[in-house]
Amino acid sequence: MIKIIAIAAAVLLVLGVGGVLAYAAAKPAAFRVQRAILIKAPADAIFPFINDLRAQSAWSPFEKDPAMKRTHSGSAQGPGATYEWDGNREVGAGRIAIIDATAPTRVVLELEMIRPMAAHNQVEFTLQPQGGATTVTWTMQGKQPYMAKVMSTFIDCDKMVGGMFEEGLAKLKAMAETQVAAMPAQATLAQTAAR
């Protein structure tokens, strides 16, 4: 009797694993994560926070390891600007580079993750003016190899990465709106000083 139960359990286990693997194989070969936020600031006030990888560090949701090694190279901003990092398990290691930028509406980056899992993805920020405000959209897309499909069967990657994007966009919104709110006061002080 015990032998029959063990065989039945093994068969169920094999069928379960086989089902998961078949389900993963049927998933799309590519992924896309996208989030957007409305920021009460003009696009030209927001664009510098995105087009400069050093400025991105101030609002990026991925800057969670204070001991992380950071290296900036290439251009100070725009195409050619590169940022490499090597941190703890939470942030991993990788490289991101701006490959295209159209002021003040679009920045395209190439992201190469080294660990915890190798990946090569494209990241894009678009800024769409909405009167005196701007809708900023953060998108990441790339290939989804088989092992990533298997992992996404158990982990909701859109929710996980999308949550990080939402956190970063909220920080970007706070910074940009604070800067814009301070501008009239700064302009008034400058005019008063000039008199």
Q: What is the pLDDT of residues 76-96, one digit of tens each?
A: 999 999 999 999 998 999 999
If 0-12 CB within 10 Å is exposed, 13-18 middle and 19+ buried, where does residue 2 land?
A: exposed
Domains of the chain with bracketed CATH: 28-185 (3.30.530.20)
Largest CA distance in the chain: 98
Packing angle of the helix pair 2-25, 146-154 (nearest 10 deg) = 120
pLDDT at position 20 is 45
pLDDT for position 143: 79
Distance (Å, whole) CA 80 – CA 74: 5
Which backbone phi and psi does 184 adopt, to 5 degrees?
-60, -40
Contacts of residue 164, defined as CB under 8 A and 6 or more positions apart, other chains included, come to: 61, 62
Rounded CA gap, 139 and 119, in Å? 15
Q: What is the pTM of this model?
A: 0.79
- Backbone φ and ψ for 135, nearest 5 degrees, come out as -90, 120
Smallest CA-to-CA distance from 35 within 180, 173, 181 is with 173
> Is 151 within 8 Å of 160 (Cβ atoms)?
no
Which pLDDT belongs to residue 133? 97
Beta strands across the sheet bearing 106-115: 30-39, 133-143, 119-130, 106-115, 93-102, 82-86, 69-73
How many whole angstroms separate alpha carbon 67 and alpha carbon 89? 12
Q: Are 115 and 92 in contact (CB under 8 A)?
A: yes
pLDDT at position 22: 55
Residues of the chain with pLDDT under 70: 6-29, 144-156, 184-195
